[in-house]
Structure 1
Amino acid sequence: MIFDVAVIGAGVMGCSTALHLARGGMQVALLDRGAICREASGVNAGTLTMQMTRAALIPYALRAHEMWLRMPEWCDGGDVLAVACPGLSVAFTEQEAAMLEERAHFRRQAGAPIELISGGRAMEIEPGLSDQVLLAGHCPIDGFTSAYLTGRAFRPALLRAGVALFEKRGVTAVDRQPHGFTLQTTAGTLRARRIVLAGGVWLEGMAAWLGITLPVKVLVNQLVVTERIRPVMRTVMGVASGLLSLKQYANGTVLIGGGWQGIGDRERGGLAVRAENFSGNVRLAAHTIPALRDARVVRAWLGLESETADALPAIGPVPGEPDAWIIGCVHSGYTSGPYFGKLLAQAIMGQEPEMPLFPMDRLLKKEAA
């Protein structure tokens, strides 16, 4: 069998692309070396935020935010327990306040309804907040999901749409053929007329299959979860420096993130928590929400995040490679992921995408033959 499209990488962007292509009438194969959405898409903080999203990506994040909240409607009942709530980004120092003002300005211009408020007003919105806050950005459109449910939410919809799901089937090479591609996998070959590279931090190696040099920076983000405690916060919380993301789930656990780096790499994944960064992260969380000083940590883990040289994504056709497409390296990519997959599917099917893509020409060089 020759598939119309083979999507390589079954994170949230790969799943969304495959689902929308299949619903558009294409025969789609979705491949991953592991289980779907069990890498970055299943272990991130699940934050649906405008205040940690690049200004250029705000229009996309706003549409994706709505998709997450309505996921059971468009994903055959698939649910990530998305919660809509206000978001606060706070500043404790004058330097952070200046940073907050600048970033809020550009994000407002891009369409995010962010309002700068005093520390006192922020405490009215979030009573558990520290009284040391000088300034805060308030956004009524924020929220979060239970990211570990992402694969479980997508799987039934993918199968009902007719997607051929190949889990634990890694792709080792891609060979160009006269009318498509042959994929060399850990379980034999697979043929497709088009391919989509959707491998996140592994896109650098995937691009090399086509002779393309695409530098991808790898971040090894640490996350921490507490025991179940009484309600201590009702917003998505962050610090202007970007070093904290914080939210409390319905079961009482509090998830602490913020991009503090652990030990690991692209080849081996996350290996170990970096003790000093763990300590810094939880101290900042307790400084921001003082009630967390009494909470005990249950566990910590690591998740990989990818980033291009200009921190903007690579989404669109691969230059010089007909019928090859790419999607990934989106900062705060989980937030915008389902909408970017929808847009890329539109382009692959020959439609005009609802919003512009992010062509990768600016990022790569074709290697000499």
Structure 2
Amino acid sequence: MSTCVDCAVIGAGVMGCSVALGLARAGMSVVLLDKGAICREASGVNAGTLTMQMTRAALIPYALKAWEFWMDTPRWLGLAVGTERRDGLSLAFTEAEAAMLEARAAARRAAGAPIELVGAARAREIEPGLTDRALMAGFCPVDGFTSAYLTGRAFRLALGAASVALREHDAAVGAERRQGRFVVRTAAGLRVEAARLVLAGGVWLEEMAAWFGIRLPIKVLINQLAVTERMPPVMRTVLGIASGLLSLKQYPSGTVLIGGGWQGCGGRHEGRGDAFIPDNLIGNIRLAAFVIPALRRARVVRAWLGLEAETADALPVLGPLPGVEDGWIIGSVHSGYTSGPFMGTLLADAILGRQHALPLFPIDRLLQPKAAA
């Protein structure tokens, strides 16, 4: 079985979906392939946090634009994804964390994020449920979260309306450029011929780049997350710690999601991870209960593992595939869920030859030398 399109996009996470949607709405025929279900790897199992305070300073302009996308998904995607605009606090409990917070807040503020430093008393006014042990906090009114598990549902609706051919549960097993076109082969035997190709495979980008002889190291993180039973309101903000070890928010349903990048076991070949590290899970939950004391009364009802991909400098791969005409690549960036919709739209504009609002992130800076023949 074969099909011929203007562009093939491999990887149906937030970034791949956003690229495909931008191209299709501009009139291109697009096929979107994924080894699993749409937005069910990193894009569907993360904490859903939309934060400026844990976003790299260089990415603040991108995250601010993407934040507007998330706040308007009914218009952009045709369906709400549980987006909540909330105040955000990043806390410091030690002098070292306070110094870190001050430096990071200054850098992000210079990049455009509306972050101000507040004392402990003001932090507790903003978040009455907060412990009295914090020294200071970074406060940002441009924060919030989504229900990440709803992301795929919304993108599926929008992609269908734009006539994107979505092919789930069919892994791309190889791609090559042949006679001026790309040929993509899938595990189920589909052959896709495309004038353009976008690699958007997240933690699998390393393997995909290798199809074209490109050595692109991608770090794989196995993040542990947990959620509590429904509770009365115990917090109203999105909370983090300057060290990055906590992501905490309460949903309208009353459940509290606890994250922060505490690691489990596994790698890209285990899918979403292989096993929990119990001490890390317990440490994460204890930290959450220290920050919001009312959580000591809560019961954890579920925990899971989620993949996250990062480059060596935690900045995106976003731009052309070096030496591969009409080949493009996107993904593998810290806080990629937050900035994903805008980055995907940005790459779609570049592919379409439009002027793009902010610079791309070419991958040449990350490449390892090719092995000798």
Q: 1:63 aligns with which of 55, 62, 65?
A: 65
User: In structure 2, what is the equivalent of residue 286 of structure 1?
Assistant: 289
CA distance in 1, matches of 2:56, 2:329: 20
* Distance of 2:14 and 2:369 partners within structure 1: 28
Per-residue deviation, residues 320-356 of structure 1 (Å, max 9, x unmatched): 1001100001110000000000000000011121111
1:261 to 254, 258, 263: 263
Give per-residue Cα distances to partners, 1:205-243, cap 9 Å, x unaligned.
Answer: 000011110000000000010000010000000011100
Partners of 1:216 and 1:340 lie apart in 2 by 18
Alignment of 1:122-133 (within 5 A): 122-133=123-134
Q: What residue ranges of structure 1 are gaps of 5+ in the alignment?
A: none
SS in 2 for 1:87: strand
1:301 aligns with 2:304: yes
CA distance in 1, matches of 2:133, 2:60: 29
Q: Return the alpha-carbon distance in structure 1 between the equivalents of residues 265 and 81 of structure 2.
A: 28
Per the alignment, residue 236 of structure 2 pairs with: 234
Distance 1:355 1:366 in 2: 29
Matched, 1:336 2:336: no
Give the distance between the partners of 1:366 and 1:205, measured in 2 at CA.
16
> Does the CA contact (< 8 Å) of 1:221 and 1:304 recur in 2?
yes
Q: Which amino acid aligns with 1:314?
A: V
Q: What aligned pairs does 1:96-107 form with structure 2 within 5 A after superposition?
A: 96-107=97-108
Whether the 8 Å contact between 1:128 and 1:289 is mirrored in structure 2 is yes
RMSD: 0.8
Tell me, in whole angstroms, the C-alpha distance in 2 between the residues paired with 1:297 and 1:190.
45
Asked if 1:72 is matched to 2:74, the reply is yes
Offset at 1:366? 5.5
Q: Which amino acid aligns with 1:296?
A: R
Percentage of matched positions with identical amino acids: 68
TM-score, normalised to structure 1's length?
0.99
**Counterpart in 2 of 1:201?**
203
What residue is the counterpart of 1:18 in the other structure?
Answer: 20
Deviation at 1:81, TM superposition (A): 1.0
- 1:3-44 Cα offsets, whole Å, 9 max, x none, are 110000000000000001000110000000111000000000
1:110 is matched with which residue? Answer: 111
What aligned pairs does 1:24-103 form with structure 2 within 5 A after superposition?
A: 24-75=26-77, 77-103=78-104
Q: Which runs of no fewer than 5 residues in structure 2 stay unpaired?
A: none
Q: Give deviations 1:136-164, integer Å, cap 9, x for gaps.
A: 00000000000000000100110110101
Residue 203 of structure 1 aligns to a residue whose secondary structure is: helix
1:275 aligned onto 2:278:
yes
Is contact 1:46–1:144 with CA below 8 Å preserved after alignment?
yes
What is the CA-CA distance between 1:365 and the residue it aligns to?
3.5
Which portions of structure 1, spanning 4 or more consecutive aligned residues, are displaced by more than 6 angstroms?
none
Q: Is residue 49–residue 141 contact of structure 1 (8 Å, CA) maintained in 2?
A: yes
Paired residues of 1:214 and 1:363 also in contact (CA < 8 A) = yes
Deviations 1:65-99 (A, max 9, x none): 01001011011x22211000100000111111111
- So what's the TM-score if we normalise by structure 2? 0.97
DSSP 3-state at the match of 1:339: helix
